[in-house]
Amino acid sequence: MKQTSTFICQQCGYQSASFLGKCPECGEWNSLVETLVGDRPAVTLGQQNLNIDLFKLSDVKSQAIKRISTGFSEFDRVLGGGVVPGSIVLISGDPGIGKSTLLLQCAMQIAKGQLGNLAVRSVGKKTSKSSSSLSGSTELTAEVLRAEGPNAQNPNNPEHVVLYVTGEESSQQVKIRADRLGTVLGDLYILPETGVETIIAAAQKLSPTLLIIDSIQTVVSQKLSGSAGSVGQLRECSQILQRFAKGAKTGVFIVGHVTKEGSIAGPKVLEHLVDAVLNLEGDDMHAFRLLRSSKNRFGSTFEVGVFEMQDKGLIQVDNPSQIFLEQRISARAGSVVTSTLAGGRPILAEIQALCASTIFPVPTRRVGGLDFSRMQIVIASLSKVSKLALGNLDIYLNVAGGLKIVEPAADLPAALAVVSAAVDKSVKEGICAFGEVGLLGELRPVANLKVRVEEAKRLGFNDFVSPDRFKTLEEATSYAIHGE
């Protein structure tokens, strides 16, 4: 079948042989995407011979999936129990957040973990080079990041082979990072390459357990003329990788940077093509990184993995509540502990408020880690019910430690923190607050009360200010602040 590429408008389907900035049909800008088309033989419907077996779903045997551990229990949990062979997982996140670090650590752990005891090996230098001619003229050079070992003779044992394809960095740069993260053991191969055809050829040669593509925005297919990172290239390369993953039963991780435009050439265009989408979140100012799944065909999307970036890479945080409360000064006005749910897991966090008399005609409202429009409503209903003159105060609200809380359960603790800061009186000791605040100042119940309470009790917070105990915001504030 002859294949050519054509530019198709994503809005109206208009086709053009060359790229156009504006679609002449519907007038949309930048909507033409290069797409491969093949001339298919014309078929008359109803005249084909059906030569496929039809079977009932009930006759399909259930198979237990053997998952591969990434070496991080936090990561495995977010994936739903480990990497499913043949699945394709997109890891997205802002540049510099730690995607390459996380995946290189996983690659090292898989390559090392399944080889048994390797402590006595001499490792660390890249010495062996394998090169061979693959797929016609394509010359492949995959370097193995290890010195020697029992598997050197048999590099094709898929149990412990990982192929790390780097399109952004040279193998030397990856090696420097790997040295920083620990000693490289086992069959971890590195391929500095951007051509998807070469990558597939290399992967077919190695048949690795795990194939890592860092990043998809650098990968190009020869079949398309579009530049790396364009929507057409992203789609085509991901489809090729997906076909390989399914056929070879290899787990594939692809890294996707979140671009400023988000929807254009960003990971968004790939979301429907992959089995799971994981986002690595955090900010530059804090060491914490949260790994959340926004789509997962093999597990729940409620799970969250917590990591901390240290000088030797990411380490998993098993007890995030303790860490988020570590620097808390409990007797300070404006600090309230809440029990929030990050995925299915409760985490204790500190909500801080600062109120200062304003020098501006319109007082400032700054919110970090919480939903700004929700907080505006909370402050408005607070000024109504508490008779506090909040209109003269600049109010700053923040979640300590860089955590982001989007759920409405943070309304009540935020309100208490504001009142506490405004009257300059700390909340009662041992208080943990959560609850949604309605427009009229009524408190509304939150989900998963039991898990929140258990986590708070575990860390010594036994006095709960919650909607099942107080009906209104006034009652809750007068108890938490004035003890009555």
Which residues of this chain interact with Mg ion, rule CB under 5 A?
Answer: 100
**With respect to ligand TYD, which residue has the nearer C-beta, 177 or 328?**
177
Nearest to 457 by CA among 335, 337, 316: 337
Nearest to 131 by CA among 121, 143, 120: 143
Least distance from ligand TYD to the Cβ atom of residue 170, Å: 13
Least distance from Mg ion to the Cβ atom of residue 214, Å: 6
Q: Give the span between the Cα atoms of 150 and 3, in whole angstroms.
A: 45
Q: Does 482 bind ligand TYD (CB under 6 A)?
A: no
Q: Does 98 bind ligand TYD (CB under 6 A)?
A: yes
> What does 365 bind: ligand TYD, Mg ion, none (CB cut-off 5 to 8 Å by kind)?
none
Q: Does 99 bind ligand TYD (CB under 6 A)?
A: yes
Q: Does 229 bind ligand TYD (CB under 6 A)?
A: no
> What does 312 bind: ligand TYD, Mg ion, none (CB cut-off 5 to 8 Å by kind)?
ligand TYD
**With respect to ligand TYD, which residue has the nearer C-beta, 181 or 277?**
181
Q: Does 39 bind ligand TYD (CB under 6 A)?
A: no
Q: Does 179 bind ligand TYD (CB under 6 A)?
A: no
Nearest to 376 by CA among 386, 391, 361, 359: 391
> What does 233 bind: Mg ion, ligand TYD, none (CB cut-off 5 to 8 Å by kind)?
none
Least distance from ligand TYD to the Cβ atom of residue 316, Å: 14
Interface of this chain with ligand TYD, residues 301 to 320, rule: CB under 6 A: 309, 311-313
**Ramachandran assignment for 150, one of left (phi > 0), alpha (psi -120 to 50 degrees), beta (any other):** alpha
CB 96 within 8 A of CB 112: no
> Is 59 annotated among the ligand-binding residues?
no
CB 465 within 8 A of CB 433: yes
Interface of this chain with ligand TYD, residues 371 to 430, rule: CB under 6 A: none
3-state secondary structure at position 204: helix
> Is 268 annotated among the ligand-binding residues?
no
Q: Does 247 bind ligand TYD (CB under 6 A)?
A: no
Q: Does 93 bind ligand TYD (CB under 6 A)?
A: yes
3-state secondary structure at position 421: helix
Q: Give the span between the Cα atoms of 409 and 444, in whole angstroms.
A: 9
Count of residues interacting with ligand TYD (CB under 6 A) = 15
> Is 95 annotated among the ligand-binding residues?
yes
Nearest to 338 by CA among 420, 395, 448, 417: 417
Amino acid found at 11: Q
**With respect to Mg ion, which residue has the nearer C-beta, 100 or 466?**
100
CA 99 to chain centre: 9
Residue from the set 13, 24, 27, 96 that interacts with ligand TYD by CB under 6 A: 96
**With respect to ligand TYD, which residue has the nearer C-beta, 101 or 109?**
101
> What does 313 bind: ligand TYD, Mg ion, none (CB cut-off 5 to 8 Å by kind)?
ligand TYD
Q: Which tokens belong to 106? A: 């996983």
Q: Give the span between the Cα atoms of 70 and 83, in whole angstroms.
A: 7
Interface of this chain with ligand TYD, residues 448 to 467, rule: CB under 6 A: none
Q: Which stretch binds ligand TYD (CB under 6 A): 70-78, 99-107, 359-367, 420-428?
A: 99-107
CB 470 within 8 A of CB 479: yes
**With respect to Mg ion, which residue has the nearer C-beta, 100 or 426?**
100
CB 307 within 8 A of CB 315: yes
Cα dihedral 460/462/467/469 (nearest 10) = 180
Q: Which stretch binds ligand TYD (CB under 6 A): 124-132, 177-185, 269-277, 343-351?
A: 177-185
- Positive or negative, the CA dihedral 78, 81, 82, 87 is negative
> Is 96 annotated among the ligand-binding residues?
yes
Q: Does 95 bind ligand TYD (CB under 6 A)?
A: yes
> Is 98 annotated among the ligand-binding residues?
yes
Residue with tokens 């939903």: 371
Least distance from ligand TYD to the Cβ atom of residue 99, Å: 3
Which residue has the closest beta carbon to ligand TYD? Answer: 100
Nearest to 301 by CA among 316, 282, 318, 279: 279
**With respect to Mg ion, which residue has the nearer C-beta, 100 or 321?**
100
H-state helical runs in 424-463: 449-458
Residue with tokens 């094709």: 156
The end-to-end CA distance of the chain, in Å, is 80
> What does 311 bind: Mg ion, ligand TYD, none (CB cut-off 5 to 8 Å by kind)?
ligand TYD
Cα dihedral 88/93/95/98 (nearest 10) = -80
Residue list for the binding site for ATP: 93-100
Note the residues at the interface with ligand TYD (CB under 6 A): 93, 95-101, 177, 180-181, 309, 311-313
